[in-house]
Amino acid sequence: MKGFIVAVLLCVLYHTVRSRSDNACKVNIYTRHLGVWEKENVLICHVSKISPPPEIRLDLLKNGVVIPNTNQSDLAFDGEWEYYLTKHVDFTPLKGERYTCRVCLNGKTSHYEWEPDE
């Protein structure tokens, strides 16, 4: 009976952790000012609702290549113990170029593309 109870508790714990990691984070990629082609701006990638313990890396990419001289905030957490992280860089978006945020979180990599406002 004791083994059965332990197995049930492990099953509940597994499903709790799994459901939390499936919705592990929220990613926003946006600009500081209205996103208009050929106007100086700041490209920002903000990741929030990161479940602990976070293993995360953010990269800002232009046409699939890492943009140099980016700035990143320190990994911080909110009142609900969910972490958040922000990376940004000055840029002038040009038509025909793709700007993305690559998020590597706990071994899984996802890409999020910036869309201009115009």
C-alpha atoms less than 13 angstroms from C-alpha of 43 in its C-beta half-sphere: 28
- Residue 44 belongs to a domain: yes
- Residue 59 belongs to a domain: yes
CATH number of the domain to which 58 belongs: 2.60.40.10
- Looking up tokens 């508790």 gives 9
- Residue 100 belongs to a domain: yes
- Residue 3 belongs to a domain: no
H-helix or E-strand containing 12? helix 2-22
pLDDT band at 1 (very low <50, low <70, confident <90, very high): low
pLDDT tens track for 53-104: 778 999 999 999 999 999 999 999 988 889 999 999 999 999 999 999 999 9
Q: Which amino acid is at 39?
A: K
- Residue 8 belongs to a domain: no
- Residue 34 belongs to a domain: yes
**C-alpha–C-alpha distance, residues 74 and 51, integer Å:** 16
Q: Look up residue 38 and give its two tokens.
A: 């050929």
pLDDT band at 23 (very low <50, low <70, confident <90, very high): low
- Residue 42 belongs to a domain: yes
Give burial (CB, 10 Å; 0-12/13-18/19+) of 111: middle
Q: Please state the domain count of the chain.
A: 1
Domain interval for residue 90: 24-113
This prediction has a pTM of 0.78
- Residue 13 belongs to a domain: no
